[in-house]
Amino acid sequence: MSAEERLYSLAAQLKMLEAYLNDLIAREATIVRFVQDARLAIDAIRGLDAKDGGDLYTLMPIGMGVYVHAKVSTKDKLLVSVGSGVAIEKSREDAIAYIESRVKELESALISISNQKQELQSRIEGVRGEMNSIMQQMQGEERQRQKG
């Protein structure tokens, strides 16, 4: 394989690696948003106790950015979505425990993605280094031809 062909091959490989890195970065950002959302949910559940004795009112979305005022009838039981359109009634403590377990799973996924990103960045730097080396070699050969 000629140096030029190898350079084209490396450029294609670099493009693929960079696309995969961008995908990992997007996944990481999505997971970070899920973790933030989960922590906010935990804070909100814990905040239900702050209004002991009094009525608790909230805004309930009904679609298209429209909300109605609603009274929370019970603060002791929550519906927790477990996927596939299924929700299970849980106590506040059980709901918090469920969310915290999901946060741990998401944090594990973040660690895995971070490791993959580091490995990928190392591979990208290796490919770039090899491309630079080939280009310098080609430029040296071109200078030699011009002198000779």
Q: Predicted confidence band at 145 (pLDDT cuts at 50, 70, 90)?
A: confident
DSSP lists the bridge partners of residue 78 as 90
Distance, in Å, from the CA atom of 33 to the CA atom of 15, rounded to the nearest integer, reads: 27
Phi-psi region of 83 (alpha: psi -120 to 50; beta: other; left: phi over 0): left
Q: Give residue-wise pLDDT tens across range 23-51.
A: 999 999 999 999 999 999 999 888 887 65
Q: What DSSP letter does each residue of 10-21 carry, written as one string?
A: HHHHHHHHHHHH
Distance, in Å, from the CA atom of 33 to the CA atom of 74, rounded to the nearest integer, reads: 28
- Considering the four listed CATH numbers 3.40.50.1370, 2.40.50.420, 1.10.287.370, 3.40.50.1000, the one that applies to the domain covering 3-50+78-147 is 1.10.287.370
Q: What global pTM score does this model have?
A: 0.79
* Radius of gyration (C-alpha) of the chain in whole angstroms: 27
Distance, in Å, from the CA atom of 143 to the CA atom of 55, rounded to the nearest integer, reads: 83
What are the sequence ranges of the domains in the chain?
A: 3-50+78-147
